[in-house]
Amino acid sequence: MLKKIVIGFSVVCLLSSFISKGQNLPAQTFTNPLLPSGADPWVIYKDGFYYYTNTLGNRLALWKTKELSKLSNAETKIVWRPPASGPNSRDIWAPELHFLNGKWYLYYTATSVSQPSDKNRYVFVLENASPNPLEGTWTDKGKINTDYPGLDGSVFEHKGTTYFVYSAYVGPQSRLFIAPMINPWTLSDKQMQIAAPTFNWEKLGGRQILEGPQFLKGRKNNLFIVYSASACWDDHYSLGMLTASANSNLLDSASWTKSPVPVFQQSPLNNIYAPGHNSFFKSPDGKEDWILYHANSAAGQGCGANRAPRAQKFTWNKNGTPNFGEPVKAGAPMPVPASKKSVK
């Protein structure tokens, strides 16, 4: 009898230890949205941490967390506020955090308090030498020298060259332009248009808009720029895609082929409307590809605070193009991005 009691006690202790350790393991699933509100979401994974940001309108803030699924509990810090006047004093939109040449750079869109309009809307950039972007000093490096006013500047590197892409205001339209960078705050004179609105789904909401360009490296020697199409207040706001060979001249518009239909769009069945202004990231183990985007949870909610950040894993088609699937319904459990320590 004593032997049975000892064995039973040992089993209980082992189970208790296992449960206790399990409580310290990261959550295995998460649900969208990641935050109640947050338009134009951007995330970068570096040195074991996700650094996240989104449009706040009157300031720039960064979130830092090891688990993007726990973004609502992440360390958060306001890192910059606009001046009271000047060209970057109002409408602080679409921030992106990049790590270039050993320093952090925050690109953002802004206009002037005294003359707030698209004619005076440009992309600006801040620099920080601290290893942790939530610390150190952010230095204003000024306005990016784009040929046109515009918004939604983004940066990517390919074959030793750093490129800048943005949405330029040209006449009544927003078109996509690309340029090589001399340094993280200066473009070369070779600023070339690579896409303009041509399809009906790029002209909804009373505007002809291509915005929020994001670079994505393919798996079969190809490159993609995924962009948001139409006005953000239209429920059919969606993602379009440009494709180019990795060996082509990226400054030549002929190198880029536009997909004839959206590659990611609303899902009334899942109560997801106006999905767009995305970014891409890898899972911590480097094996999974994820898309981060904002969307509304009901029709007719427009461009306001109802836009919330959402993330989901995507796959690849046999021809090497990304397959983003359908926007996942809010509250539907999904596996968290795979960790380096995950056991499968």
Q: Which residue has the tokens 């004179």?
A: 189
Q: Around Cβ 169, how many Cβ atoms within 10 Å?
A: 19
CB 277 within 8 A of CB 41: yes
DSSP state letters, 268-304 = GGGTBEEEEEEEEEE-TTS--EEEEEEEESSTT-TTS
Which of 96, 211, 234, 235 is labelled catalytic? 211
Beta-bridge partner residues of 111? 90
Beta-bridge partner residues of 242? 225, 258
> What CA–CA distances, in Å, run from 222 to 5, 15, 185, 213?
65, 51, 27, 16
Look at residues 245, 233, 290 and name the one whose alpha carbon lies nearest to residue 264.
290
Active site annotation includes 211:
yes
Structure tokens at 187: 């473009």
User: Which helix or strand (DSSP H or E) is residue 221 part of?
Assistant: none
Look at residues 33, 63, 31, 74 and name the one whose alpha carbon lies nearest to residue 306.
33
Active site annotation includes 235:
no
Look at residues 185, 154, 147, 183 and name the one whose alpha carbon lies nearest to residue 168.
147
Q: Are strands 238-245 and 257-258 parallel, antiparallel or unpaired?
A: antiparallel
Active-site positions? 40, 211
